[in-house]
Amino acid sequence: MNKFKQLLFLSALILLVGCAVKDENPHWVINEVMVDNQTGYMDDFGQRNGWIEIFNNTYKTQDLGGRFLTDDPNNPKKYPIPRGDVLTKIPPRQHVLFWADNEPFNGTFHVNFKLDPTKDNYIALYENDGKTLLDEIVIPAGLPTDKTYGYPTDGVKYDKDGNYLAAQLERVTPSSNNAVLEENPKVTLLSESDPWGVMMTMTSMLVVFVGLLLLYLIFRAIGNTAKRISHKRVASTGTLSAVRSESLLTGEVLAAISAAIYELNQDVHDVESTILTISEVKRKYSPWSSKLYTLRQDPRR
């Protein structure tokens, strides 16, 4: 009886642990697949073929070189991704595109198999050992021409409840984000709460005026401190500038006084007599009308 209880307890514990474990999004995700490409994206050779988009679902650069892509679960090493190609180093949260054209001699990103739109297409990515499955996806048959199958949000295969999210996508986005953010939520919220922009204007003006006020107070404090230090330094010398530093006279008044003193010291004249002598004219006629003084006088010999 005790063994039966222990077995029942262990079974319940295993069941609870199994229910608690949720599917997690892998580090590499087969993010978007196009099976039948008739009018869509072209490769470097100007050809249209199906393509496979792989997403680096981490926040570090990872190298795809040495891993394997396949469309056959019985042949996990069908297409070995070449090593040593710098283009296989995928930056964080970025994409890389592989062309399913069965022409591997065209380059690193051209695999040796094609996708068939008339049947289900299995695609898998394996680790370097060819045994560890990194990610897989099954594209159902009947996917419309020039449409893609994948995940609405890059790298998110499962929601918080563990539901599988793969579906036909509304937008075809090779080597770019599947979820196109057309609007900024913050801008949308602000436009709804302040349609006339009054709060934005008031906030901007308040920030500017507060900044100017702070700068004024800072520069004024610095100027007053420098002035006090200068006055103390000049006052300690005991010169005329010390009196100026302690007086209430402005610099303009002191400059005018200095100029007046300098002008007074430089304005030097000869000593002149201020006595006026008036002598009576002996002649009875007016000398102003006399022609005598205009005659030429010959010198005496």
70 in a domain, yes or no?
A: yes
242 in a domain, yes or no?
A: yes
- 152-135-155 Cα angle (round to 5): 30
Separation CA 56–CA 175 (nearest Å)? 11
265 in a domain, yes or no?
A: no
Length of the chain: 301
Domain that holds residue 232: 183-249
- Predicted pLDDT of residue 210: 95
The reply to whether 62 and 148 lie within a common domain is yes
Q: What is the pLDDT of residues 100-150, one digit of tens each?
A: 999 999 999 999 999 999 999 999 999 999 999 999 999 999 999 999 999
Average pLDDT over residues 78-85: 94
Using the CB atoms, write b or e for 199-234: b if 16+ within 10 Å: eeeeeeeeeeeeeeeeeeeeeeeeeeeeeeeeeeeb
Q: What is the pLDDT of residues 170-227, one digit of tens each?
A: 999 998 888 866 666 677 777 778 888 888 889 999 999 999 999 999 999 999 999 8
- Predicted pLDDT of residue 83: 93
Separation CA 134–CA 122 (nearest Å)? 14
Is pLDDT above 50 for 17? no
The reply to whether 234 and 166 lie within a common domain is no
The reply to whether 150 and 69 lie within a common domain is yes
The reply to whether 31 and 64 lie within a common domain is yes
Average pLDDT over residues 1-15: 56
Mean pLDDT, the chain, as a whole number?
83
Of 161, 180, 199, which residue sits at a domain end?
Answer: 180
The reply to whether 28 and 169 lie within a common domain is yes
The reply to whether 219 and 84 lie within a common domain is no
The reply to whether 205 and 133 lie within a common domain is no
The reply to whether 219 and 166 lie within a common domain is no
Residue 20 tokens, joined: 């608690």
Residue 212 tokens, joined: 């100017």
194 in a domain, yes or no?
A: yes
- 250-253-258 Cα angle (round to 5): 125
234 vs 48, higher pLDDT? 48
Please report the beta strands in the chain, taking only residues with DSSP state E, as ranges in sequence order.
Answer: 28-34, 50-56, 62-63, 68-70, 79-80, 89-90, 95-100, 121-126, 133-139, 148-150, 167-168
273 in a domain, yes or no?
A: no
Q: What is the pLDDT of residues 238-271, one digit of tens each?
A: 655 545 555 566 778 888 888 888 887 776 666 6
Helices (H) and strands (E) in the chain, counts: 5, 11
Number of domains in the chain: 2
**Percent residues over pLDDT 70 in the chain:** 77
